[in-house]
Amino acid sequence: MTTVTILADNRVSGSRPKGIRAEWGFSAAVGDRLFDAGQSGIAAANARKLGVGPFETAVLSHGHYDHTKGLPAFVEELREIYVHPDAFEAKYHGEESIGLPYTREWLETHADITTHTDPIEVADGIVALGEIPREYPDSRTGERVDEGGQRVEDPVRDDQALAVEGEDGISLVLGCCHAGLRNTIAHAEAVLEDPVRTVVGGTHLRSPDPETIEAIVEWLDGRIERIAPTHCTGHVAERALEDAFGEDYRRIGVGSQIEL
């Protein structure tokens, strides 16, 4: 069994332990692996208060600042980092840089970097899914720079998730799910040849219209067993998911722990 502990999220799940804090971003301990690092040192401080870590291995879900800027607080212990190669590309929202704020060269002074687009096992029974094919609409954000130096829409091809294998199926831990929730579930099931039972993490459903959310929730109904959305899900989507899943919906935040 693998325990997921939420280290950074938009909200705190309770008042204990005293002093844990929230921020816009995401980070989680998935067993003894670090998945994302939040946007400041808050994730590392929360990890100490929650009694998890230190971490020798990190997996980055994608190259946005709110999932990566907190890396310096972890690098003294890190030995290896798994990440899609496009995570190091410049990313923008208007004139604002929203990409990974550290170069590959700097990170390599602290840890071995493994870039991958294919699925790769990062621990026994835990697979980083790599680049996710997109049959369904995705959740694109911001802009990137193309080979001609022009700003173009960023499909966030570097978005990936962690798949945790269990006796009765797969649990997914998501960072932001820019690849789209349906695409990520379908890819995990194709790679591991088992059904997805549980989804934890950011779903990037904070801005789609109600009809889009309804279609996604209908697709999920009867396909997965429980869901615990965080970070970039949005209040409308949270309500729709809670209505659909009932007691199998879990409201979580910093400090929450889920057994997979």
* pLDDT for position 176: 95
**pLDDT class for 1, splitting at 50, 70, 90?**
confident
* pLDDT for position 59: 98
* pLDDT for position 148: 85
CATH superfamily, with its number, for domain 3-259: Ribonuclease Z/Hydroxyacylglutathione hydrolase-like (3.60.15.10)
CA atoms within 13 A on the CB side of 22: 16
**Whole-structure pTM value:** 0.95
Chain segment 119-154, per-residue pLDDT in tens: 999 999 999 999 999 999 999 999 999 888 889 999
**pLDDT class for 88, splitting at 50, 70, 90?**
very high
Distance CA 165, CA 127 (A): 8
* pLDDT for position 248: 95
* pLDDT for position 7: 98
Share of the chain above pLDDT 90, in %: 88
Chain segment 180-222, per-residue pLDDT in tens: 999 999 999 999 999 999 999 999 997 778 889 999 999 999 8
Chain segment 33-78, per-residue pLDDT in tens: 999 999 999 999 999 999 999 999 999 999 999 999 999 999 999 9
* pLDDT for position 42: 96
- DSSP per residue, 106-167: HHHTTSEEEE-SS-EEEETTEEE--S---SS-----SEEE-TTS-EEE---TT--EEEEEET
* pLDDT for position 147: 85
| Helix and strand numbers, DSSP H then E, in the chain | 6, 17
* pLDDT for position 25: 95
Q: What contacts 11, CB < 8 A, 6 or more positions away? A: 22, 253, 254
* pLDDT for position 206: 79
* pLDDT for position 146: 87
**pLDDT class for 234, splitting at 50, 70, 90?**
confident
